[in-house]
Homo-oligomer: A and B are copies of this chain.
Amino acid sequence: MEMKLAMEKFEKIIEEKRMVDTAITSLHWDLETQAPKKGMELLSGVVGYLSSKSYELATGTALIEAVDTLNDCKNDLEPVRVKMLEEVEREIDKIKKIPAVEYSRYNELTARAQSIWAEAREKSDFKIFEEALREIVEFQRKFVGYRGWEGHPYNTLLDDYEPGMTVEKLDEFFGYLRGELVPFLKRIATEGRELRGDFLERSYPVTEQRELSRELAEYIGFDFDRGIISESAHPFTLNYDRNDVRLTTRYEERCFSSSVFGTIHEGGHGLYEQGIGEEIASTVLGTGTSMGIHESQSRFYENMLGRSKSFWKPLYEGVKSRFDALKDVELDEFYRGINKSEASLIRVEADELTYSLHIMVRYEIEKMLIEGSIEVEDLPRIWNDKMEEYLGIRPETDGEGVLQDVHWSCGLFGYFPSYALGNAYAAQIYNTMVKEIDIEKSLEERNLSVIKEWLGENIHRWGKGKKPAEIIEDISGEELSARYFIEYLKEKYSRIYL
């Protein structure tokens, strides 16, 4: 009887929190995609206000008492409810040790900081952003202190985005990547053939790009009854629930790849969220299980499918007829062109081969920032040094260096490694899927639904009902390993370049 009451209370509060959090998501969406410059202050204030309401609900005695009661009778609960309970506990633990006032100030700060960052990036001046970033980093350090940590303070933040991930594992992971990739890159650079890339910078009218983006999203299976595509400076995906999933992309007349692969990438995220099982859709389990698994889905679609020859084979003639820029470009040249590898400064424009090194730079910087061994004012220099060390090129401005990513302005620390983990998950997933499905044949026959269904069955529908480690082990029978990703890259790029 007491359990039933506690469960009712639990569900009522969680539902109320879902309402508040959805309003916050909606305001974030607005702030990122359309709010006028001077309107951001009010909306950021509302985000701050609602965040404090959400915080109150999550840390109020009502919820904590209900959770305690339910914890005492876990054995009598259905397994799915136990998972919900654990997820809620995880979320409560994240914030309950943080004083309410600080939490709300932090939320207001990050809501404001995004436009400060945007201005700094536009003017390519780190000084404009420095103070806000310093405050954010200080909050992050303090929060880790309140929350406690094991092994390394950065582990606490890693765990928020990739449950179970640690500095120890990541150091090994990136060490392996670096050991394999840096020499391979050098070999490509010295021995590799010249590839055409000229056509990618020709003129592609934005109106046509916009139509193509929509078509591609639909082609891979994105459901426009349950989602939209919009535009923003930095593409992202936001999910309200499985019935409302929002992607953004950006259109640049002289950058074909930006909108096309941006859309396929975000589309991969979108398919994950639209594929969440209906039975858990409106519960706390009803979203992607980790950022790394999320990124595996976007990378799988963007790179493993979207940058394969089989993907474009049935589509290329149609695309070619729409853009004058492609009229002298054969499919094979197109395929090699969209896979052209080159050390470059901007992460979101980096190719598949060099991408993980961009992440390594960010991982190492974040780790040091959080442990306090470097300070915010030194970031431009440290950034540039690391770029030179790993990629052999040095940014000349803050805009093409330390200011390029929005993440830190949103308070996302511990998030970047997911991008590299995503590549590794994706390759390991591909390695299993290809044993069951002839992926290339499916692509050539425009049968993308068989791929979406496989991912839906093995990954999407579970939401947070399985942890990332469970997902990858259930699929591949082993732990996450960087091996498949390295093999995939070497095989693909040897074919293209050597």
Question: Could you list which residues of chain A lie within 8 angstroms of chain B, going by C-beta atoms?
Answer: 16, 19-20, 22-23, 26-27, 29-30, 34-39, 41-43, 45-46, 49-50, 207, 224-228, 230, 240-241, 243-244, 282
Most buried by B among A16, A20, A230, A243: A243
A42-B240 CB under 8 A given contacts A19-B49, A26-B26, A26-B30: yes
A43's partner among B22, B39, B207, B282 (CB-CB below 8 A) is: B22
CB pair A241–B23 under 8 Å, yes or no, is no
10 tightest CB-CB pairs across the interface, nearest first? Answer: A39-B244, A19-B49, A38-B243, A38-B226, A37-B225, A23-B23, A39-B243, A22-B46, A19-B46, A38-B225
Instruction: Give chain B residues whose Cβ lies under 8 Å from the Cβ of A224.
Output: 36
A225's partner among B36, B43, B49, B230 (CB-CB below 8 A) is: B36
- Within the assembled complex, what's the spacing in Å between the Cα atoms of A46 and B19? 5
A240's partner among B34, B43, B282 (CB-CB below 8 A) is: B43
Give A281's nearest chain B residue, CB to CB.
Answer: B42
CB pair B35–A244 under 8 Å, yes or no, is yes
Instruction: Give chain B residues whose Cβ lies under 8 Å from the Cβ of A227.
Output: 36, 39
- Within the assembled complex, what's the spacing in Å between the Cα atoms of A20 and B50? 8
CB pair A243–B36 under 8 Å, yes or no, is yes
Instruction: Give chain B residues whose Cβ lies under 8 Å from the Cβ of A23.
Output: 23, 26-27, 46, 50
If A26-B27, A39-B241 are given as contacts, then 16 extra A-B residue pairs at C-beta distance below 8 Å, sorted by A number, are: A22-B43, A23-B23, A23-B26, A23-B27, A26-B26, A34-B230, A35-B244, A36-B225, A36-B227, A36-B244, A37-B225, A37-B226, A38-B226, A42-B241, A43-B240, A207-B207
Q: How far is the CB of A378 from chain B (nearest CB, A)?
A: 34
- Within the assembled complex, what's the spacing in Å between the Cα atoms of A39 and B29? 14
CB pair B207–A42 under 8 Å, yes or no, is no
List 10 interface pairs A-B (beta carbons < 8 Å), by A numbering.
Answer: A16-B49, A19-B46, A34-B228, A36-B224, A36-B226, A36-B244, A37-B226, A39-B240, A42-B240, A42-B243
CB pair A244–B43 under 8 Å, yes or no, is yes
CB pair A26–B45 under 8 Å, yes or no, is no
Give A244's nearest chain B residue, CB to CB.
Answer: B39
Instruction: Give chain B residues whose Cβ lies under 8 Å from the Cβ of A244.
Output: 35-36, 38-39, 42-43
CB pair A26–B43 under 8 Å, yes or no, is yes
- Within the assembled complex, what's the spacing in Å between the Cα atoms of A230 and B34? 9
Q: How far is the CB of A29 from chain B (nearest CB, A)?
A: 8
Instruction: Give chain B residues whose Cβ lies under 8 Å from the Cβ of A45.
Output: 19
Give A15's nearest chain B residue, CB to CB.
Answer: B49
Instruction: Give chain B residues whose Cβ lies under 8 Å from the Cβ of A42.
Output: 22, 240-241, 243-244, 282
Give A25's nearest chain B residue, CB to CB.
Answer: B46
- Within the assembled complex, what's the spacing in Å between the Cα atoms of A42 and B230? 20
- Within the assembled complex, what's the spacing in Å between the Cα atoms of A39 and B207? 26
Instruction: Give chain B residues whose Cβ lies under 8 Å from the Cβ of A36.
Output: 224-228, 243-244
Instruction: Give chain B residues whose Cβ lies under 8 Å from the Cβ of A49.
Output: 16, 19-20
Instruction: Give chain B residues whose Cβ lies under 8 Å from the Cβ of A34.
Output: 228, 230
Give A38's nearest chain B residue, CB to CB.
Answer: B243
- Within the assembled complex, what's the spacing in Å between the Cα atoms of A224 and B36? 7
- Within the assembled complex, what's the spacing in Å between the Cα atoms of A207 and B210? 13
Q: How far is the CB of A51 from chain B (nearest CB, A)?
A: 11
A39-B226 CB under 8 A given contacts A19-B50, A49-B19, A50-B19: yes
- Within the assembled complex, what's the spacing in Å between the Cα atoms of A446 and B243? 48
- Within the assembled complex, what's the spacing in Å between the Cα atoms of A241 and B20? 21
